[in-house]
Chain A
């Protein structure tokens, strides 16, 4: 299987505070990988290191076999290959829904206006927001905003989608609509790396689940193994705590 992203011996510190320690893992084409773990375990930092929103302190990030931490590598071109969905949506406040999905295509990918609009509409339909193209972000609910944010990322037609706790800032009744869209994307064969607290989603949709604790990958494997038969003591403890809450 072709691996799209591979992380080797990745480490990240903020000052003397070591967030990630010697992380090794990869994402293969067409795979859905969910990263789970307690708050502060470094999940989000790992995701942000992969698209260089945080600069790793050490190690390598390989994209299709090439190290993107190389000085010569074009960071901006690389980022267009990764779609990022944030916890806080981060829609561009000065653009309406359609504009949010078009601006990157126009100004970064240099697509024509007609092509950009067609692509944007295609993905807005996928997330069910094609009726709201004139709305400004401030006029949308959280779930709607997140679906537009997903369409914005998809409009760049990336190789991998990164989701950074996409439902954590949503009201409970809106979590479902976003997860439904994500599930649909997963079934369409999109490569996805999802940091999530939604254990139901992870167990149902993921091809592989990665459990992180204190900056280390403690355990990874297919969801059946992680959720039903975890080997690691920390994994077991974490799942006991989380599943009890649900």
Chain B
């Protein structure tokens, strides 16, 4: 091994690595977003209070049973196996020939959905009962309570966990090489197939993976901070303070910076 060999790999094959990294990032971003939306929807549906009787009770129970099966199946089997079953299975059993990229996004999305469904459910359960009661007490029904009070808090609270899912997705899209998605791992394998520089090529790949995950976590941390808003609030001077003294203005402005 030498620095020269490294440089050679990078100089010669950087467009391939870059294309792989781009696809990896693309699949993980789209899938994390779609998966989170699926998870949010399922989490909300699974926490609908069940009425004591009537048609609605039966309906909710059936839907919940189906969702439980979905969550358990996709959490309980490896994504690499799901990829094989869905991609080749749909072709052989139903004659559906999917684009590898589409199949990749589909698989990672429903997989992420199964995980985030539980994250969201946990997030909803952990919201203080008093928040629900206060919303009910001012006349909100369950839908309004969820929409205007609970879900905004849940989204803020589960953001770190969603970020975690995102990072996992960046790494786990590598399993999609089994269905020939041209993501980073697949591209690296291709490079190795040409020049047999296994160590060099995969070191480059791991550096690229690390750059992606570190960037993503930093960006998410920033978003979390933005959502929390400023640590201090501005006191609106009341009538008795309409004529502000210069020293108050200085204090006021300092508080804002």
CB pair A86 B148 closer than 8 Å: no
Closest CB in chain B relative to A207 CB, distance in Å: 24
Most A Cβ at <10 Å: residue of B136, B137, B139, B238: B137
- Asked if residues B136 and A79 are in contact (CB atoms below 8 Å), the reply is yes
Count residues of B near A (Cβ-Cβ below 8 Å): 26
Interface residue A39 (Cβ < 8 Å from any Cβ of B): no
Chain A residue contacts of B131, Cβ below 8 A: 90, 92-93
The answer to whether A76 and B139 have CB atoms under 8 Å apart is: yes
> Which stretch of B149-157, B166-174, B212-220 is in the interface?
B149-157
B140: contacting residue among A107, A131, A139, CB under 8 A? A107
Cβ of B138: which chain A residues have Cβ within 8 Å of it? 79-80, 84, 103-104, 108, 152-153, 156
Given known A-B contacts A86-B133, A90-B131, A91-B134, A79 and B229 have beta carbons under 8 A apart: no
**Docked CA distance A93–B154 (Å):** 11
Which residue of A90, A107, A108, A132 contacts B134 across the interface (Cβ within 8 Å)? A90
Cβ-defined contact, A131 with B237, below 8 A: yes
- Once the chains bind, are A92 and B233 in contact (CB under 8 Å)? no
Q: How many A-B residue pairs have CB under 8 A?
A: 81
Q: Does B236 contact A (CB under 8 A)?
A: yes
Task: Decide if A94 touches B137 in the complex (CB within 8 Å).
Answer: no
Residue of A86, A93, A156 touching B139 (CB-CB under 8 A) = A156
- A51 interface contact, C-beta 8 A: yes
Q: Which of B148, B232, B235 has the most CB of A within 10 A?
A: B148
Q: Is A3 an interface residue (CB 8 A)?
A: no
> Of all chain A residues, which has the CB nearest B153?
A94
In the complex, what distance in Å separates the CA atom of A42 from the CA atom of B61?
34
At the interface, yes or no: B135 with Cβ under 8 Å from chain A? yes
Answer yes or no: B144 CB below 8 A from chain A CBs.
yes
The distance from the CB of A192 to the nearest CB of chain B, in whole angstroms, is: 15
- Shortest CB-to-CB span from A58 to chain B, Å, is 16
B104-147: contact bitstring with A at CB < 8 Å (1 yes, 0 no)? Answer: 00000000000000000000000010110111111111001000
From B130, B139, B236, contact of A134 by CB (8 A): B236
Does B250 have its Cβ within 8 Å of any Cβ on chain A? no
Bound CA span A134–B229, Å: 11
Q: Does the CB pair B140–A76 fall under 8 Å?
A: yes
| B-side contacts of A80, CB under 8 Å | 138-139
Q: Is A88 an interface residue (CB 8 A)?
A: yes
- In the complex, A133→B237 CA distance in Å? 11
Q: How far is the CB of A39 from chain B (nearest CB, A)?
A: 19
Q: Which residues of B contact A83 (CB under 8 A)?
A: 137
Say yes or no: is A82 at the interface (Cβ < 8 Å to chain B): yes
Give the complex CA separation of A158 and B130 in angstroms: 20
Closest chain A residue to B227, Cβ basis: A94
Q: Are A90's CB and B128's CB within 8 A?
A: yes
Which residue of B130, B144, B229, B234 is within 8 Å of A136 (Cβ)? B229
Besides A104-B138, A132-B236, A133-B236, 4 new A-B residue pairs in contact (Cβ under 8 A), listed by A number: A104-B140, A107-B140, A136-B233, A153-B138
What are 19 A-B pairs with beta-carbon distances under 8 A? A53-B133, A53-B137, A76-B139, A79-B138, A84-B134, A86-B130, A86-B133, A88-B130, A90-B128, A91-B134, A104-B140, A107-B148, A108-B139, A131-B237, A133-B236, A139-B233, A149-B134, A156-B138, A156-B139
